[in-house]
Amino acid sequence: MYNASSSPAVPLQLNIEGMTCASCVTRVEKAIGKVPGVTRVSVNLGTEKATVTGQPQLGIADIVAAVETAGYRVPARDIQLTIGGMTCAACVNRVEKALAKVPGVNRAQVNLATETAKVTWFGDESGADRLIRAVEDAGYQASLADDAGLKNARSDETRRSDRQRLAVIAGTLLSLPLMVPMLADFAGFHLMLPGGIQFMLATPVQFILGARFYRSGWKALKARAGNMDLLVALGTSAAWGLSVYQWLSARDIAMPHLYFEASSVVITLVLLGKWLESRAKRQTAAAIRALQALRPATARVRRNGIDQDIAASAVNIGDTVVVRAGERIPVDGTILAGDSHIDESMITGESLPVARQPGDKVTGGAINGEGVLLVQTDAIGAETTLARIIRLVENAQAEKAPIQHLVDKVSAVFVPVVLVIALATLAGWWWYSGDIEHSLINAVAVLVIACPCSLGLATPTAIMAGTGIGAKYGILIKDAEALELAHRITTVVFDKTGTLTEGKPRVTHWLPNGIEQQELIQLTASIQRDSEHPLAGAVLDDAKAFSVPLLPVSGFKTLPGRGVSAVIGDRMLVLGSRRVMEDLKLDRTALEQAAADLEQQGNTVSWLAVTGPVPAILGAIGFGDQIKPGAAMAVSRLASMGIASIMLTGDNQGSARAAGDAIGIENVIAEVLPEDKSREVTVLKQQGKVIAMVGDGINDAPALAAADVGIAMSTGTDVAMQAAGITLMRGDPTLVADAIDISRRTYHKIRQNLFWAFIYNLVGIPLAAAGLLNPVVAGAAMAFSSVSVITNALLLKRWRPASRD
């Protein structure tokens, strides 16, 4: 990742949100004008834009901070680009620096494995064009990664792979005759092709098949940088040039040893390695392509009683979509008519089809099992669940893990250091032996064996494979940082309701005190009519079952984490927890034992009281919430992984303790107000624990954000999912252990890849410098080093969640 610290001294246009009048304009202008380096600023209220001119060292982040401090907002947007022509980690650094120099860029991240760039942009709408030009000026190709761009990129990728394959075949046919003398030497025969024939075989390989190395290397030199192609071009040119010199100088004397086979075979092997690498990289991106393939191109819409097939992109919200048996559902929606079993395996990871009936929600991309469904469209295009999943996985694969920053620092100096080592090898061997031929060949071996590719691919390929296989089984890892942190988790904190329990409470007991049960139900249901609390639905369902009419209510208030209050007739009523009754100092003696017994059985108890004109407890209501089938197994699996489990809930101590005992959680933190959950997580972190917080509700969002890793159930709210680093597409607690497991395995693959990439270079370069490797062997080793890194990452595709065993 490259953070832009400065911008060139050219006008920068920023969108400003929140301005309403001329005084806002003045305020924004003054705020920006105080930023060091700003020479001129002009703000236009009509267009809501600021034009800023400043010195080259002017930082975009400073301007944005100044505007936000003044009370306004500079909207940022992420622009995704497809990048062509990158070959190694040095190329990544070059592209990132080129993008970061564009005025308005705050951050640029380039991924070698996906050949994409993710840019955070604060400028105007012309951003994509400027970014593409910057990449092209740096010597690479770029296009906007929209649907059309991705299709073109895939088409280009296929054509490029075909060209690479043909180049490998041609290189092999031309290089094999050059290898015959070397192979004959091993068999005890001495063969030597005439120098002219060797020249005619090697030269097309060097300058036609190897032209890509010269083009890329020259672009790197013009940018005062280096890359793998430059090393290959220099090394093979040296071997080819030495061979030409020796051949032309021989004249009538015995033909000396020529090294045409070294230059030709090295180029052929590198081309082979690149072809295999591109094939392997396509496999790591298979998860994204599989998700994209789930989107139907067309939809059958019923309008005015007539069914018509239209492009899926032309469906409008509210349209009725007709889905026949075996077809993919093109939109997110609600079933209006029809019963079926829906296959959601590619979206949620649920292996068995799920029964759906009128009123149920369905997800675009799922397959209708049998019968015809009429679905009312609720979400289309980028707002569908499938589109959001694809976007989330793409963003995760575009992010860089924190460990990658070390690699970036090494990659930035890798090529210059290798060039210095090669020159030192040439000079050292020449001084030691006086043999320029032998010295040059050793220097060539150093240039050829050095491989920045494996360094650049080590982390992103593992992240791609890990996030891809996770998505296949319903585990969406939002960013690389969450993936890297997840392997260190020591403690998982579970919210109770909706996470460990079904989140569908029901009334189990009505305990009236001084009034009839019918009146207790009526008063409780009337108060809860305007409440959004999960318990309110259970009360209203019971009132409906008992055919109890509701009374008019006034003065309804929510007491966050405590209950609700309202006025019915001349009575002021409060419905809430035991703590509320204690604060009101009401006598609970008559119901205390019965309520305590319910709590010991794992029920939640709410109390209804009248606070005026005569304060009194009117009754208590017991609620039960079934524990999810996989809850106990999830806790057991985490324990087997060495991870402790804690339950954090707003329920009373008795109810929480009973649920904890049933699930197998010893450490239970009960009676925690929603606003205090994040504080409890922070306290646990201060004890040295690495915390994962698992929740599903709006009140869990602060705690999810406070944890080292937030894990959200997708059965919950969008707010919770936005605050979490990992989203589970099913409300199955056993997926928590699976998410940590795939994160651990992915991180281990990253470390393995980096170890081998560093060791390969740390061992290979000294061996080549010592004269222990000839260029052909060095070229073969270099060609297959990056392939081995990708292949190791692809082993993650064999991972299967233990919850499915």
- Which residue's entry shows tokens 């969002």? 701
Mean pLDDT by 10 residues, the chain (805 residues): 44 78 79 85 78 73 84 82 82 86 83 83 72 87 69 66 88 86 64 84 92 84 75 83 81 67 82 76 68 82 88 88 89 90 76 82 86 89 80 71 73 82 92 86 84 76 84 82 86 89 86 91 89 81 89 85 84 88 85 87 87 86 87 93 91 82 91 82 92 79 85 64 77 91 91 87 89 79 78 88 71
d(C-alpha 599, C-alpha 529), whole Å: 25
d(C-alpha 125, C-alpha 164), whole Å: 37
* Joined tokens for residue 793: 């990452």
Q: Which residues fall within 8 angstroms of residue 75, CB to CB, at 6 or more apart? A: 15, 17, 122
Q: For 753, how many CA atoms within 13 A lie in the half-sphere containing its CB?
A: 33
Cβ-contact 522, 536 below 8 angstroms: no
Of the candidates 495, 542, 625, 732, the residue annotated as catalytic is 495
* Joined tokens for residue 482: 């969450």
Q: List b or e across 195-206, with b for residues whose CB sees 16 or more CB atoms inside 10 angstroms.
A: beebbebbbebb
* Joined tokens for residue 432: 């030691």
Query: Please, where in the chain does CATH 2.70.150.10 lie?
Result: 298-386
Class of domain 2-145: alpha beta
Pairing of strands 361-362, 506-512: unpaired
Q: Which CATH architecture has domain 475-501+627-729?
A: 3-Layer(aba) Sandwich (3.40)
Q: Is 151 helix (H, G, I), strand (E, B) or coil?
A: helix
Cβ-contact 18, 24 below 8 angstroms: yes
Q: For 624, how many CA atoms within 13 A lie in the half-sphere containing its CB?
A: 11
Of 372, 368, 384, 360, nearest to 307 (Cα)?
A: 372
495 in catalytic set: yes
Task: Work out the end-to-end distance of the chain between its first and last CA atoms, rounded to an integer number of angstroms.
Answer: 39
Query: Please, where in the chain does CATH 3.40.1110.10 lie?
Result: 506-624
CA dihedral 195, 196, 197, 202 (to 10 degrees): 80
pLDDT of amino acid 6: 44
d(C-alpha 30, C-alpha 431), whole Å: 66
d(C-alpha 365, C-alpha 292), whole Å: 9
For 451, phi then psi, to 5°, come to -135, 95
Pairing of strands 691-695, 491-495: parallel
Q: Determine the CATH number of domain 298-386.
A: 2.70.150.10
Of 381, 383, 358, 353, nearest to 368 (Cα)?
A: 353
| pTM of the predicted model as reported, rounded to 2 decimal places | 0.71
Q: Which residues fall within 8 angstroms of residue 252, CB to CB, at 6 or more apart? A: none
Query: Please, where in the chain does CATH 3.40.50.1000 lie?
Result: 475-501+627-729
Of 102, 36, 43, nearest to 74 (Cα)?
A: 43
Q: Determine the CATH number of domain 506-624.
A: 3.40.1110.10
Rounded to 5, what percent of the chain is helix, strand, coil? 50, 20, 30
List the helix and strand counts (H, then E) for the chain: 27, 30
d(C-alpha 759, C-alpha 781), whole Å: 13
* Joined tokens for residue 719: 């707010």
pLDDT of amino acid 430: 92
d(C-alpha 720, C-alpha 701), whole Å: 5
pLDDT of amino acid 152: 59
pLDDT of amino acid 723: 65
